[in-house]
Structure 1
């Protein structure tokens, strides 16, 4: 075939074919026109890793650290390499378009998808986005920056109206997208679910046409978020190229063609939308991927594992170290806590995926030691019960898991037609994309069967949350009924029930027959209103755990802590607490965690607390902790990466990508982080994150950009060279400590005597360097002057590079400024665009 000529192809398409190109045909694929060499493209979720085409029983994938972790590396080259690995993962899944990165802003600490995003700072978020996009597109896979724009909380997300001033919109919320468009040219943009100042973003002419295309000169493809299209004519006319997913709700060819033929909708609108889709088609043709190609887990190579460990380790932030780290491998060590033997490798929702493997903190630490460390649970860290499937044995195969049989009729029917049978070991079963040609609707029934043997007699709890209906039986007796009486919860993208539980005494060594009878989504007894409806067969989550007595578990942990030299106390959140579709109600750690931390620290002062969360948590005991590490949701390799940092095989170099306030009430969105009467007021304006804390002189637990090392670095010899359009800054950095290590000098700009209210300082540059002990180097910041000094002038509706005095500040964090020097700009200029 010759070169794919967009205009020639466009001229040969029928009106119906053009319209068909403007929506998906299913959850992950676009419409093909084979006679004109237009293939069906495959999309895949991509914030944490490339899942492929299946929520249910998907092919395992590489799981990357969450967005806030990736940004905490402050390493543009490493993020470029991570983007390339994402591109390779996409190719192994036959994916043409990765749905990431997520580039929304961290207004406050409670956002359900906050862990997916990068930072509270637009410059850091933009640079991280650009690096990852460039890496993905180096592999000729298209990247999709999302969610454009102001989609920064989950509360009533598909109807919430984000009320944002024009200045805040430009300086904070659009800015990371502008930076990424300028530096990486993403092939696609995904619109948010939300309204912005009264209109849904997916049909906003101002945002999609005036700013993104005309002002920024971007020339790619715009798609909706899944079920985030709200009109036909307005969305088409104002710039939304693809409605996702399919089949379409708003772009059926017959009525849209009728609108064109009756001049209700101009034909050039359809041509322009189709032309933009063809641009994406042309770009992805460089991949030479087969249409509807195979999905493989063969990228689970030593090289992949090495890079995943490197980025996980470099994202880890050492927050406190009072002579307790690095650990001695010959010391006696206990690993305690709810996250010690639990792999909190990713957040929930679209970011969740089935990983190649996962390494827990306990496993990673144990590999470093000659004898296995001591262990105690201490407290439960999960919101619902842990997975049942891993405790079951399939009665038909003898392997871990269960047998599941699919029927058209419920168990009460005298005649049931078996339509499918699978043997799996998944406790979380989401059937949104399960398909079977024998089923003529989304109503079907599944029987799960597995055998259970426990190794300790006692009370055990079984739990079920469901989008549909489900009942759990033990030896034929009903124990959990989530069918006849259901209560709303936040499971399954906020569509499902809360977890129903039942307890029973189980004897050690005795075999119990476990049976779950599930009815798919149409059997659900509750009404789903105000949620994004993913459709399909719904889902069921199967939980199981021994019943623990809180005081007894803490007592056991204390006894273990007293018996060793050092304790690594692993706490935090997981994908149940931080997930798409709902926001956290508070900054608290799971119940009983703070009590556990206090007790263990009192029992053994040489305790290193390791917190895993994608966003900030309150740390009421922080003053008592000698050691504190922020380890995020670190992907497949978190356990190994954490062990490397704990024992000094890797010198920690992560810097916080967002501020950790002391308490929830301190954060700038405390009064405004919810949707009230259809709108959410961005009352903090431009003062989010450290911009707010510094302006208000409010202390935080740990500031933006902060992170310790096992070595020390000195900064000197600040030099500024100013030209008409450039700010060239040079500093000398020396490793004054005993270890090789990495450091991140951060460049902030402070405007003096501005005509408008300005932040105390704003990040405008950073570089990551590595130095041997005693080694020094010159670090250069070559920055565009207008982008360093401008604010957005709402009256002029342009960026204003204001005449006046400015200070360059070089810091080890947003609070720790060690060098500074002034410069002056003589003339005010205005500008617009990228």
Structure 2
């Protein structure tokens, strides 16, 4: 018999032909993933597999462990703070290019859920509290991705706004809130960019999980919006077989399937519990996804590669520069000078984030960044440019780490470079004739082996062992704390002395994805400055775990080292440094350990002793600038004590350079807040109704999310939505509104009245003069950004359809309603600074549906 030869995949599948040719078993197999990152292929009919990849902060590829380095973009709330549609488009295009380099046909992003509360664990991953800003941001990123013939998978549809009980929580909300706030970003992105794939949310809405909600997936998405793209689940976000298929959840991810197994699914089909037309319709959607993926032209044997180009770094820096928001600048303390005016000048750089690179929040958005510039490194490079007439001093000041810090960039590996040597074995430590089969060099001591595979292990073999080695050289003599948490077992040795035992007695903690691992066990040993110490961690994979036999595949281990110091001692050292400085840059905030997928923040406060640090520094030095890194608001009780305040988000690879660009004036800040910063958590509209209570959460604030609430009830925030300062001044004038019953065009002149070139964001809000129902004071409807040289004037034009500008959701009619009457157009450079107004009037009331 002549062996069959695999035929080349055609440029486009004939979907209806394949529907006729596929067996019912093959159709069912298409409706769930093959593995964690791939759809099922059918070689008999030349139907290829589609590869997907996280995510919203950059393209990780198909590996958590020892992944190919990636470019990390500023977080979603930072990208939205650019208010620059063109930069968002360019970011999407770069994501699309890099997806091809990772062999990915589909990017699992962007995320356009609403930042309902500052406490939301994935708030950083979304764009804004405002649905219009969120929608335009998502639409432009989607356009950019799909310009590269890569599929964008918009997520999480809909209202995945908290992490607490995210797979179980039932979100109780009005249809009006669902339509006007939570669905609106998806509505805009569908209308303007049409993402070819959509990912459902984990949660329920009004009693039904979204992934099996026919009202949302069939009636609204497919029927009302006319969507023909592919709908996939979030990972393990399927809760039924029949209901999810009937609702049009085309693809269960990841594989292998939990709910669409051959025997029970075929039985349901044979007994007419599931109609064959339902199977065909879902299979068609998978084949449409394959056709869209074929357009990328990615070869089957692609080898994942990074993108270490200047063009990529330049765009990441541009996006980062534009994302940073200057919120306070008393006495023009900023920008700083790279050169001393009179003699030598000293700048102290202090804070837990100064020498840490907070590139992204945690969870599926995090990745192995190709490089990371810390704020201290960025600032230092500016001083070097200036000729070193300004000197730098540094102090940690306060601890931020939830667990002991990553030492991947501190240890020295067997090659004499920074990093960790990892050696893998088939037998446990101490075994006779222990067989070593693989060695890696790692850049992190936070080692997640959930997807570790080796040709030296049998298929499905999860039991293995690894030793992680490195040399540690202390900067100071003193007592040092060593820690290790694991999903498996781990023991940490210093010069062969057991210091941490997380093997013989394990206690459940919150380590690893969704808190499946142990707590961090710690031990103490005195070390001498400059001496070399051999650090070894002996790890056993997930089958050795004593607490949970259902651990994630190979498991993992996190370990860290830190000199023991009290908060008081760390602050005292920082105060001594600050006393000697002319100016102090305090780099504070939170990190992916505190803001992450899998859990929500317990409070809006910065953890640890940061507030005490700021109070102590401002008591001895009046020239203090605070740089805050977080993906969402934090409490700032000391804001009136500092002269400068900069919101820098999680800034991706170039975070240190972008912070320094703004601090030293190489970039004139132009970012605007993508969400309101309240004075305290209690002022936030979701305060009484955030997190799950016995499986439910009431969206009691209804449509009054963010600035809509603060303006309606007259609560003054700390910093309003859309706010941000510049090193120059702008005037908006000569507003001209053209209205033709379908489109509103507004032209405004932007004058740079200062001495520095810069960019200004113009925001257009609309309000109804005498509404028949309760409506917000005003709502953002469009925005634009324009660069204007000092002394010059440019005209910016904004445009919005009348129906989008005027409509609210009528719950009685179950339609959008554009009401006859007068409307006010308000134009300004933030939600609280409206400088130009005009009116228009509609001549009739009408109702509408669709996009």
Q: What range is the shorter-chain TM-score in?
A: over 0.9
Match of 1:498 in 2: 519
Question: Aligned partners of 2:603 and 2:359: how far apart in 1?
Answer: 22
User: Aligned-pair distance for 1:721?
Assistant: 2.2
User: Aligned-pair distance for 1:2?
Assistant: 5.9
Matched, 1:451 2:471: yes
Question: Aligned partners of 2:845 and 2:463: how far apart in 1?
Answer: 66
Question: Aligned partners of 1:375 and 1:578: how far apart in 2?
Answer: 26
Mean Cα deviation higher: 63-72 or 265-274: 265-274
Question: Aligned partners of 1:137 and 1:577: how far apart in 2?
Answer: 33
Matched, 1:402 2:420: yes
Q: Deviations over 1:366-406 (max 9, x none)?
A: 11113352111111222111113333233x44333333333
Matched, 1:507 2:521: no
Question: Aligned partners of 1:542 and 1:40: how far apart in 2?
Answer: 37
Matched, 1:313 2:310: no
Match of 1:211 in 2: 220
Matched, 1:302 2:322: no
SS at match of 2:701: coil
Within a 5 Å distance, the mapping from 1:407-422 to structure 2 comes to 407-411=425-429, 413=431, 416-422=434-440
Contact 1:486 1:525 in 2 (8 A): no
2:643 aligns with one of 606, 626, 635 = 626
1:431 aligns with one of 435, 445, 449 = 449
User: Aligned-pair distance for 1:710?
Assistant: 0.6
Within a 5 Å distance, the mapping from 1:235-254 to structure 2 comes to 235-254=244-263
Q: Deviations over 1:513-532 (max 9, x none)?
A: 3222222223333359xxxx
Contact 1:749 1:764 in 2 (8 A): yes
2:376 aligns with one of 354, 362, 377 = 362
Question: Aligned partners of 1:349 and 1:3: how far apart in 2?
Answer: 35
Contact 2:11 2:295 in 1 (8 A): no
Match of 2:278 in 1: 269
1:82 aligns with one of 80, 91, 95 = 91
1:334 aligns with one of 344, 348, 360 = 348
SS at match of 1:131: helix
Contact 1:40 1:292 in 2 (8 A): no
Contact 1:463 1:502 in 2 (8 A): yes
Question: Aligned partners of 1:455 and 1:102: how far apart in 2?
Answer: 42
Question: Aligned partners of 2:401 and 2:89: how far apart in 1?
Answer: 34
Match of 1:810 in 2: 827
Query: Following superposition, which runs of at least 4 residues in structure 1 exceed 6 angstroms of deviation?
Result: none
Within a 5 Å distance, the mapping from 1:520-599 to structure 2 comes to 520-527=541-548, 535-599=552-616
Contact 2:13 2:287 in 1 (8 A): no
Question: Aligned partners of 1:738 and 1:659: how far apart in 2?
Answer: 29
Match of 2:3 in 1: none
Match of 1:471 in 2: 491
Question: Aligned partners of 1:585 and 1:221: how far apart in 2?
Answer: 36
Q: Deviations over 1:496-544 (max 9, x none)?
A: 223222111112233333222222223333359xxxx882112111111
User: Aligned-pair distance for 1:807?
Assistant: 0.9
User: Aligned-pair distance for 1:416?
Assistant: 4.3
Match of 2:633 in 1: 616
- Unaligned 5+ residue runs, structure 2? 1-9
Mean Cα deviation higher: 791-800 or 538-547: 538-547
User: Aligned-pair distance for 1:248?
Assistant: 1.0
C-alpha distance 527-691 of structure 1, shift in aligned 2 (>3 A): farther
C-alpha distance 153-2 of structure 1, shift in aligned 2 (>3 A): closer
Contact 2:710 2:716 in 1 (8 A): yes
Q: Deviations over 1:776-804 (max 9, x none)?
A: 12221221001111110111111111122
Q: Deviations over 1:430-451 (max 9, x none)?
A: 1111112414432333222333
- Unaligned 5+ residue runs, structure 1? none
Question: Aligned partners of 1:410 and 1:160: how far apart in 2?
Answer: 42
Q: RMSD value over aligned CA atoms?
A: 1.6
Question: Aligned partners of 2:301 and 2:126: how far apart in 1?
Answer: 30
Question: Aligned partners of 2:626 and 2:417: how far apart in 1?
Answer: 37
Matched, 1:728 2:745: yes
Question: Aligned partners of 1:453 and 1:724: how far apart in 2?
Answer: 72
Contact 1:611 1:632 in 2 (8 A): yes
User: Aligned-pair distance for 1:827?
Assistant: 1.5
Question: Aligned partners of 1:313 and 1:742: how far apart in 2?
Answer: 12
User: Aligned-pair distance for 1:18?
Assistant: 1.3
Q: Deviations over 1:278-303 (max 9, x none)?
A: 11111111111122521001x21011
User: Aligned-pair distance for 1:413?
Assistant: 4.9
Matched, 1:92 2:119: no
Match of 1:189 in 2: 198
Within a 5 Å distance, the mapping from 1:784-795 to structure 2 comes to 784-795=801-812
Mean Cα deviation higher: 439-448 or 227-236: 439-448
Contact 1:389 1:542 in 2 (8 A): no
Mean Cα deviation higher: 499-508 or 212-221: 499-508
SS at match of 2:364: helix
User: Aligned-pair distance for 1:605?
Assistant: 1.4
Match of 2:360 in 1: 346
Match of 1:57 in 2: 66
2:176 aligns with one of 167, 188, 191 = 167
C-alpha distance 718-455 of structure 1, shift in aligned 2 (>3 A): closer
SS at match of 1:115: helix
SS at match of 1:351: coil
Contact 1:488 1:526 in 2 (8 A): no
Question: Aligned partners of 2:554 and 2:689: how far apart in 1?
Answer: 36
Match of 1:380 in 2: 399
Question: Aligned partners of 2:555 and 2:629: how far apart in 1?
Answer: 29
User: Aligned-pair distance for 1:32?
Assistant: 1.1
SS at match of 1:180: helix
User: Aligned-pair distance for 1:417?
Assistant: 4.3
SS at match of 1:567: strand
Q: Deviations over 1:532-585 (max 9, x none)?
A: x88211211111111123223222222222223222111111111111000000
Contact 2:487 2:551 in 1 (8 A): no
Question: Aligned partners of 2:781 and 2:364: how far apart in 1?
Answer: 31
Mean Cα deviation higher: 225-234 or 3-12: 3-12
Matched, 1:289 2:295: no
Q: Deviations over 1:24-80 (max 9, x none)?
A: 111101111233332111100011000000111100000000000000000001100
Question: Aligned partners of 1:654 and 1:583: how far apart in 2?
Answer: 26
1:714 aligns with one of 717, 723, 731 = 731
Question: Aligned partners of 1:525 and 1:400: how far apart in 2?
Answer: 33
